[in-house]
Structure 1
Amino acid sequence: MTPEAFRALFPGQRRLRHLASCSLGARSTAVDEAMARMSADMAEHGAPWELFEQQVHEARVRFAALVGARPDQVAVMPNASVGAYQAASTMDWRDRPRLITTDREFPSVAHVWLAQRPNGAEVVYARDADDYATLIDERTRLVSAPLVGYQDAVRLPVAELARTAHDAGAELFVDAYQAVGVQPVDVAELGCDYLVAGTSKYLLGLPGLAFLYARHPDRTDRDPQLTGWFGRVNPFAFDPRTLDFPAAATRFQTGTPAFPVAYAANAGLRLIGALDLARVRAHIGGLTALAEASLIEQGERVRHVPPERRGAHVGLLTGSPAGLTRRLAERGLVVSPRGDVVRISFHYYSDAEDVAALCAALHELGVASALHQRTA
C-alpha cells in the first residue's frame, strides 16, 4: 500500500493535519466501522460476551504476530503501567536489588520502578546508552529501557542492552509504545525478556488496551501480585477458593478487559499488519529529516537526534509547548507537547505537505508575535 492510499483511510486528514500520533493515532474509517460493529453486536445480541472475548483473543494474536511472539507469550493489559507492575511484582529484589532505568523512561513506567523501592529495589539511572554497561553488574535484577524515548525520540540500543543484561544474569524490560507500528519490532531480535506497548498511538486504536510480552512467563521469582479472574487457568470456573496461574502470559492478566476498545485495537492492528514496516520506517525517516531541516532553516530550535537513532517524531523546542500546541490547533495542526518540546510526529499517512503547512503556520505565528511585540 502506498502512503497516499493509506492516507485516504483517514478522512480527518482533509480537515486536520494530524502530527500527534505519538500521543493518539489519527481516526480511521476502520476504527469507525469497528465501533459501529461493536454497537451492532450489542444491539443484536444484548450481552455478546462471547464476541467480546473473541475480539480480545484476536487482538492478542495479532499483536503477537506483529512483534514476532507466540500468543501464549502475550497478556492483555489495560495500559503499559499495569504491564510494568505485573513484571516487577514477580521479582525478588533481596539478592539482586539493582533496577537500572533512565530519565528517558516515560514517567508512568518509571514510577512503577520507584514504587518497588519498599520491596527492596535499588533504582539507578543511566545517563546514556554507554552508561548502562558500566552500571549493570551481578547485583542487577532488571534493566529497563524504552525502545524510543517519548520526549526526544531517541532510539536506544536495546538489543545490546539485552546481551549485557543477560551476561550479568539480569533481565531486560522494554517499553515499545513509541515504536510499534512505525518500525519493525521483533522480540527475538531485541532479545528482551519483557516488552509493553499499547493501541492508542502508532497502532491506531484507542486508549484502554495494551500488551505485555513475556519471554518466559512461567519462569518468575513468584506469581504476579495483582490478579483477577482473567488471570486464572480457567477464568470460567468461577471458583472463589482457588488461585491458580497458567504457565502462559495470561497469568499476568487481571479483571475484565476493555472489550469495546478491543474492536478498535483489531481495526488498527489490521491496518498496521497490512503494511511493510520497513517501508513505513523509511517513509517516516524521510519526513523527520525534512521537518528538522525545514524547521532549522527558518530559525526554529529543534532537539537534534542523529537520523539513524531517531524514532517517528521531532522535538520542537519552545518556551511554551502547551501554548504553541493550542495556537497550532487553531490552524488545523494537531501536535503533542511534552516537557520543553512540542512533538511533531509522523506516520505512514503523513506527507511533505504536512511539514510545509507546519512550517508556514510557525512562520505566521512568529511574524504575528514579532508584530505584537513591536506595537505593544
Structure 2
Amino acid sequence: MSQISRGAGKALDLFDLRADTPGTKNRNHLNNAGAALMPSAVIDAVTGYLNREGEIGGYEAAAEAGPLLEGAYDSLATLVNCARDEIAIAENATIAWQRAFYSFSFGPGDRILTASAEFAANYVAFLQVANRTGVSIEVIPNDASGVLDPDALARMIDDRVRLIAVTWIPTNGGLINPAAAIGRIAQENGILYLLDACQAVGQIPIDVNALGCDILTATGRKFLRAPRGTGFMYMRKSVVENLEPAMIDLYGAPLTAPERYTLRPDARRFETWEKNYSVRLGLRAAVDYALAVGLDRIEERCNHLSSQLREGLRGMRAVSVHDLGAPLASIISFTVSDWDSQDVMADLTNKGINVSVSPPASTPLDAFARNLPPVVRASPHYYNTEEEVDAFLEAIAGMGA
C-alpha cells in the first residue's frame, strides 16, 4: 500500500495511515458512521493523560496539561472556521445540541421547521417542547430526489418561524441535505439556524460562515475519529451574547456577588466545571490529525470508496440500496432479500467485517414515510482500502447466492 494520489497537494499515504490505526490489523472496519477507529495519536493522548492522573493526581494533571487542554478550542475553531470563543466542548453531540435547543424560548403560535430525516433524539426534544409550550413542529418537504427542498423551505417562512433545525447528513443513509442553501434562507429572514453535523464532521470540510448556521453541533466518535464521550458546539458570538443556558453552574456563570452571577462572555457558558480531561485531549488529537491529513483529501477518498461500495451493492439482484439524493455521503444503507438486517450484520461480524444496523426509530419520520425496515449501514473512511470494500461486497454477494 503506497501513496494514493487524490488531487492537488500531498498524496495520502495509505500505508502510514493504516500503520497509525491499530484497529486495521484486527477488523475490516466499515462502521465509521457509528464509531471510527482511533489513530494512535488519539489513543496515546487519552492513555497518557490517564497515566499522568494516576501518577500525580487529577487536579495536578489538569493543571500540568492546561495549555494542551486550552488548545482544543483552537483546534476545533480551525476545524469549522470560527473564533475559539464560539466553541463549547460537551460530553457528546446530543448534550451539545440539547444545551443549545433548551435555551430557546417558545410559545403558542411559534413554529420550528425541521427535516424529514431528522435524528430521533432531536425530534423527541421538539415533541417535548411542543407539549410544554404549544410551539408547532413542521417538516420541510423534500424534492423529487428525497433531499430537503430549499424552495419549499422558503415558501414556509413567515414571522412565526422561530427556528430552523436540520440534520445535515442523516444517520440512516447517504443523503446530504443542502445545509448552505438553508443557511442563506435563514440569514435572509433573520431566523436562528441549528445544524446537526454529527455525520459530517471529519468526513467533509466545514465552514460555519459559508454554511450560514448560527449553531452547529457534532460528535467526536464518528468520522472525526475521536474517543466516545466527546462532542462540541459552535455558537455564533451574537447568539451567545443573547442566549442564557437553560442550566448553569459556577463555571459557565461565576458568582460575582452573594446573590448575583454573570454569564461567561463566550460559548463556554454552556459548559460545566467538571470535565473528562483525558478524552478532551483525545478530541484535540483527533481534530489535529484530521487537519493534518486534510479534509478535502479525506472527502475525496471517502467519495471514492463509498462510490465503489454503493455501486457494487447496486449491481446485486438480492440487494436494495436505500440512499436518497445526490451527491451522497460515505454512508450506504441497504437490505438483503430474505435476510434480517441484524443477521446480515452478525454474518459480516463473523467474517471480521464491522457494519451496523440503523433501526426505523433512529429517523422515525423518514422511515415511516418510506416504510423502511431496519437497514444495514456500511460507512467506509479514508483509511479503508479498496480490497476491504471488495471483501465486503464478496461477503454480501454470498448471501444472495
Matching residue's letter, 2:321: V
Partner of 2:357: 337
Q: Which runs of 4+ in 1 moved over 6 A?
A: none
Partner of 1:176: 197
**1:170-249 aligned within 5 A:** 170-216=191-237, 218=239, 222-233=243-254, 241-249=259-267
Q: Which runs of 5+ in 1 are unaligned?
A: 368-376
Q: Is the 8 A contact 2:108 2:133 kept in 1?
A: no
**1:87-166 aligned within 5 A:** 87-94=100-107, 97-117=110-130, 118-128=132-142, 129-130=148-149, 131-166=152-187
Instruction: Determine the C-alpha separation between the residues in 1 that align with 2:67 and 2:125.
Output: 31
| CA 1:56–1:342: 2 relative to 1, 3 Å | farther
Q: Is the 8 A contact 1:287 1:346 kept in 2?
A: yes
Question: SS at the partner of 1:144?
Answer: strand
Q: CA deviation at 1:32?
A: 2.6
| CA 1:348–1:222: 2 relative to 1, 3 Å | closer
Q: Is the 8 A contact 1:96 1:138 kept in 2?
A: no
Q: CA deviation at 1:218?
A: 4.9
TM-score (normalised: structure 2) = 0.84
Q: CA deviation at 1:356?
A: 0.5
Q: CA deviation at 1:55?
A: 4.7
Cα offsets for 1:208-264 (capped at 9, x unmatched): 121111113555655111222331358xx8x87543211211111134122221122
2:96 corresponds to 1:83? yes
Question: SS at the partner of 2:36?
Answer: coil
Cα offsets for 1:177-215 (capped at 9, x unmatched): 101111111001101000001111111111212111111
**1:30-41 aligned within 5 A:** 30-41=41-52
Q: What is the number of residues matched between the two proteins?
A: 363
User: Of 237, 252, 258, which aligns to 2:270?
Assistant: 252
| CA 1:194–1:314: 2 relative to 1, 3 Å | same
Instruction: Determine the C-alpha separation between the residues in 2 that align with 1:38 and 1:94.
Output: 46
Cα offsets for 1:47-106 (capped at 9, x unmatched): 223246545422222111100011100111122222222222332323871111123121
Partner of 2:76: 63
| CA 1:32–1:222: 2 relative to 1, 3 Å | closer
Partner of 1:359: 393
Matching residue's letter, 2:14: P
User: Of 282, 292, 296, which aligns to 1:264?
Assistant: 282
**1:11-50 aligned within 5 A:** 11-47=22-58, 48-50=61-63
Q: Is the 8 A contact 2:240 2:267 kept in 1?
A: no
Q: Is the 8 A contact 2:47 2:278 kept in 1?
A: no
Matching residue's letter, 1:254: T
Partner of 1:324: 344
Q: CA deviation at 1:152?
A: 1.6
Provide the alpha-carbon RMSD of the alignment: 2.2
Cα offsets for 1:266-297 (capped at 9, x unmatched): 22112111022111111111111111111122
Instruction: Determine the C-alpha separation between the residues in 2 that align with 1:159 and 1:287.
Output: 25
Question: SS at the partner of 2:165?
Answer: strand
Partner of 1:371: none
Matching residue's letter, 1:326: A
Instruction: Determine the C-alpha separation between the residues in 1 that align with 2:57 and 2:108.
Output: 53
Cα offsets for 1:108-165 (capped at 9, x unmatched): 1222222221134221112322232332322111101122111122111111111112
Question: SS at the partner of 1:197?
Answer: strand
Instruction: Determine the C-alpha separation between the residues in 2 that align with 1:222 and 1:69.
Output: 18
Question: SS at the partner of 1:226?
Answer: coil
Matching residue's letter, 1:213: Y
| CA 1:160–1:96: 2 relative to 1, 3 Å | farther
2:382 corresponds to 1:348? yes
Decide which moves more: 217-226 or 152-161. 217-226
| CA 1:220–1:95: 2 relative to 1, 3 Å | farther
Q: Is the 8 A contact 1:232 1:243 kept in 2?
A: yes
Instruction: Determine the C-alpha separation between the residues in 2 that align with 1:73 and 1:96.
Output: 31
Q: CA deviation at 1:15?
A: 2.2
Q: Is the 8 A contact 1:228 1:254 kept in 2?
A: yes
Instruction: Determine the C-alpha separation between the residues in 1 that align with 2:375 and 2:157.
Output: 31
Instruction: Determine the C-alpha separation between the residues in 2 that align with 1:13 and 1:38.
Output: 24
Q: Is the 8 A contact 2:183 2:213 kept in 1?
A: yes
